[in-house]
């Protein structure tokens, strides 16, 4: 949009000034205007204060992001669900209905707690609760869950803690892939020590650790024959990468092509067309909606039976978890409000720095 | 690669100054791909936005702008499934996340932004025009100082308008302010900048 100079003269001062500002920001300042002196300033700032990321940085981020997305996708579920809040027992003639609703509310309160705690990672206030729930059989407490926690920790730049957490969990497992993973993770810890010198290196390492853990989480359990070797090589490569400098470009990329047969994602090399119903462009939120249905395998995830992961058998991590079932099945009769519910979020969002602003209303500042 | 996407949504607000965007459909495709975990899409997103995010965070006094940038983008990856909207909305969303990360990290450090660590603007300019380099450097140092004298809301707004290159509406939505408030903040902020920098209309 351009505003002819003669037009400007007819505007009230304030609006005139606002126009001038817009033109300045658009890079076409008004000649001789009050702000024309700022034009070079804007230019300098835009030219010099926005460092373009290096290609290697881009490649590395793209790799991590892709694996994070796939992991998140296959684990996506409703963390807390609040039953429809239209019950007003006093006015409602059907007391029985109210009682049932209240029971549901109470039940899902506990389940909600379990699930909120379930997504806690070491260091979170709720982590103790998570462990307690797991001891009584709510939430698997499986190695897989520990891996998930480690991934979150790594993404929080707690690389060494994350590795230790994962090693701790996996060393209790048997199976070739667990052994390979533990070896790789140990290598990674050793390499990590060398890379913590600068904040930049630490950040890069954190991304690499995330990638390694995600790869392990996605592929562990495939420990026979050729695939097992592939897994071993994959983790070893990623672990070695952690010791490298800041140039992940040349590194092979096992994370993109997970070994065949994995049970949780049918999107290994996902192109844009691969996401099917999961693209979220339909009304509401396709992804979490699909998962909240309890039986909703529209994503095609989890189409491999758990049989395929013999060493870390934690099918309960996936859609059919006993933890999820009470509150997932309850609201599934009523998908409408659920979709709009702001509580729909990805797993592991229980940390204090985590926030998932509602995408459709970015202006809402719920964490001022 | 799938080309037939769903109908393109109408942009929330039309970015007036960013390079006129014949890429709306591209963005749609890219977003879908990103949601499906395609690396190329994430590479494009990062290439497009990482620089401005880092710049914004650095300008706003982040102690570790690069770390915060990584965190911001990882969070974007984790939450991409919850995002629906056009490119303009996406940019706003990215900066909402960056902004919150910034606030969280400040809170974690329990201190107000102090010194701004800017990337070395003249980094290794092999024997260029020395005078011009000196001028640029001076400008940068002065600018930095001038920015630090602005009020919090003025810096927020000017950072988003100048560095992040968001529109008025996008800036308002990131900061949770009304457009009128953003306008007022940028009027005052820019005037303050001119004063601090001692610029009068015609420089250079």
pLDDT per residue over B96-124, tens digit each? 999 999 988 888 876 555 555 555 544 44
Task: Say yes or no for a CB contact (<8 Å) between B82 and A346.
Answer: yes
Pairwise CA distance, residues B16 & B173, whole Å: 16
Pairwise CA distance, residues B77 & B94, whole Å: 11
Burial class of residue A283 (count of CB atoms within 10 Å of its CB; 0-12, 13-18, 19+): exposed
Pairwise CA distance, residues B14 & A315, whole Å: 47
Using CB atoms and an 8 Å cut-off, which of residues 210-239 of chain A contact chain B? 210
Which residue ranges in chain A fall short of pLDDT 50? 1-10, 77-92, 223-224, 247-368
Going by the DSSP 8-state scheme, the letter that residue A274 receives in this structure is: G
- Minimal Cα–Cα distance from A5 to chain B, Å? 17
A206 touches B at CB < 8 Å: yes
Task: Say yes or no for a CB contact (<8 Å) between A360 and B85.
Answer: yes
What's the pLDDT at A221?
63
User: What are the tokens at A238?
Assistant: 């990623």
Q: Are A45 and A80 in contact (CB under 8 A)?
A: no
- Minimal Cα–Cα distance from B78 to chain A, Å? 6
pTM score of the predicted model: 0.45
Pairwise CA distance, residues A255 & A273, whole Å: 20
Cβ atoms < 10 Å from Cβ of B52: 26
Pairwise CA distance, residues A302 & A200, whole Å: 37
Task: Say yes or no for a CB contact (<8 Å) between A367 and B103.
Answer: yes
Q: Are A192 and A205 in contact (CB under 8 A)?
A: yes
B184 touches A at CB < 8 Å: no
What's the pLDDT at B138?
57
- Minimal Cα–Cα distance from A97 to chain B, Å? 33
- Minimal Cα–Cα distance from B16 to chain A, Å? 6
B142 touches A at CB < 8 Å: no
Pairwise CA distance, residues B92 & B56, whole Å: 13
What's the pLDDT at A309?
38
Pairwise CA distance, residues A305 & A313, whole Å: 11
What's the pLDDT at A164?
87
DSSP string, A195-211: H-SSHHHHHHHHHHHHH
């Amino acid at each position: 949009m351009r505003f002819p100079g003669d037009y400007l003269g007819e505007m009230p001062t304030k609006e005139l000034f606002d126009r001038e500002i817009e033109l300045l920001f658009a890079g076409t300042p008004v000649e001789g205007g009050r702000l024309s002196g700022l034009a070079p300033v804007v230019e300098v700032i835009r030219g010099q204060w926005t460092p373009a990321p290096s290609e290697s940085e881009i490649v590395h981020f793209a790799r991590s992001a892709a694996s994070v997305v796939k992991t998140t996708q296959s684990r996506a579920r409703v963390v807390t669900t609040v039953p429809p809040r239209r019950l007003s027992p006093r006015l409602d003639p059907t007391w029985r209905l109210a009682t049932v609703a209240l029971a549901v509310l109470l039940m899902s309160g506990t389940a909600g707690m379990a699930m909120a705690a379930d997504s806690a990672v070491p260091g979170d206030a709720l982590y103790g609760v998570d462990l307690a729930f797991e001891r009584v059989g709510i939430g698997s407490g499986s190695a897989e869950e520990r891996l998930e926690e480690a991934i979150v920790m790594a993404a929080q730049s707690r690389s060494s803690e994350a590795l230790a957490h994962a090693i701790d969990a996996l060393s209790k497992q048997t199976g070739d892939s667990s052994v390979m993973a533990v070896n790789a993770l140990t290598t990674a810890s050793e390499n990590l020590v060398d890379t913590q010198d600068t904040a930049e290196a630490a950040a890069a390492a954190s991304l690499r650790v995330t990638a390694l853990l995600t790869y392990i989480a996605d592929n562990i359990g495939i420990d026979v024959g050729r695939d097992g070797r592939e897994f071993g090589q994959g983790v070893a490569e990623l672990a070695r990468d952690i010791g490298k400098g800041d140039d992940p470009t040349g590194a092979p990329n096992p994370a993109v092509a997970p070994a065949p047969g994995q049970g949780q994602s049918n999107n290994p090399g996902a192109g844009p067309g691969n996401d099917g119903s999961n693209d979220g462009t339909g009304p509401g939120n396709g992804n979490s909606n699909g998962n909240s249905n309890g039986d909703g395998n529209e994503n095609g995830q989890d189409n491999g039976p758990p049989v395929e992961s013999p060493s870390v058998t934690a099918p309960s991590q996936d859609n059919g978890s006993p933890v999820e079932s009470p509150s997932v099945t309850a609201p599934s009769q009523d998908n409408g409000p659920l979709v709009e519910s702001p509580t729909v979020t990805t797993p592991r969002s229980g940390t204090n720095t985590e926030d998932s602003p509602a995408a459709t209303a970015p202006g809402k500042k719920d964490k001022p | 690669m799938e080309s037939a996407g769903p109908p393109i949504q109408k942009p929330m607000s039309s970015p007036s100054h960013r390079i006129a965007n014949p890429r709306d459909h591209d963005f749609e495709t890219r977003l879908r791909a990103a949601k499906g975990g395609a690396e190329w899409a994430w590479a494009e997103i990062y290439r497009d936005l990482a620089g401005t995010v880092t710049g914004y965070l650095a300008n706003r006094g982040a102690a570790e702008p690069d770390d915060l940038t990584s965190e911001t983008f990882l969070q974007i990856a984790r939450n991409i499934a919850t995002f629906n909207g056009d490119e303009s909305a996406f940019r706003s969303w990215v900066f909402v996340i960056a902004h919150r990360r910034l606030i969280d990290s400040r809170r974690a450090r329990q201190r107000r932004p102090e010194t701004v660590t800017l990337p070395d603007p003249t980094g290794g300019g092999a024997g260029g025009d020395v005078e011009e380099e000196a001028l640029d450097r001076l400008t940068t140092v002065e600018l930095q100082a001038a920015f630090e004298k602005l009020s919090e809301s003025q810096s927020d707004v000017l950072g988003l308008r100048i560095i992040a290159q968001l529109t008025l509406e996008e800036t308002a939505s990131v900061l949770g302010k009304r457009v009128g408030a953003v306008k007022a903040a940028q009027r005052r902020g820019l005037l303050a900048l001119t004063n601090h920098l001692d610029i009068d209309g015609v420089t250079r």
